[in-house]
Amino acid sequence: MYAARQRACHAARQLPRTARTYASEAHHTPAAPANESFGKGSIAAVGGFFAAVAVFSLKPAEGEESFVSGIINKYRSRAEDWAEISALHTKAAEQAGYDRNLFENASNKHRYVNVSYPEAFQSHAPRNIQAGQLVNLDHVVEHYKKEHLKDEERKAKNLAQQN
pTM (two decimals): 0.28
Q: Quick one: pLDDT at residue 84?
A: 92
Q: Which residue has the higher pLDDT, 108 or 143?
A: 143
In the predicted structure, residue 152 carries a pLDDT above the cut 60: yes
Residues 110-115: what's their mean pLDDT? 59
Per-residue model confidence as pLDDT tens digits over 2-17: 777 777 777 767 766 6
Q: Quick one: pLDDT at residue 113?
A: 58
DSSP codes, 58-82: SPPPTTPPPHHHHHHHHH---HHHH
Lowest mean pLDDT, pick from 6-20, 43-57, 62-76: 6-20
Q: Quick one: pLDDT at residue 99?
A: 85
In the predicted structure, residue 140 carries a pLDDT above the cut 60: yes
Query: CA-CA distance, 99 to 80, in Å (whole number)?
Result: 29
- Kindly indicate the confidence band of residue 1, based on its pLDDT and cuts at 50, 70 and 90: low
Coil vs helix vs strand at 37: coil
Going from N- to C-terminal start, the domains of the chain cover 78-106
Coil vs helix vs strand at 10: helix
- Kindly indicate the confidence band of residue 27, based on its pLDDT and cuts at 50, 70 and 90: low
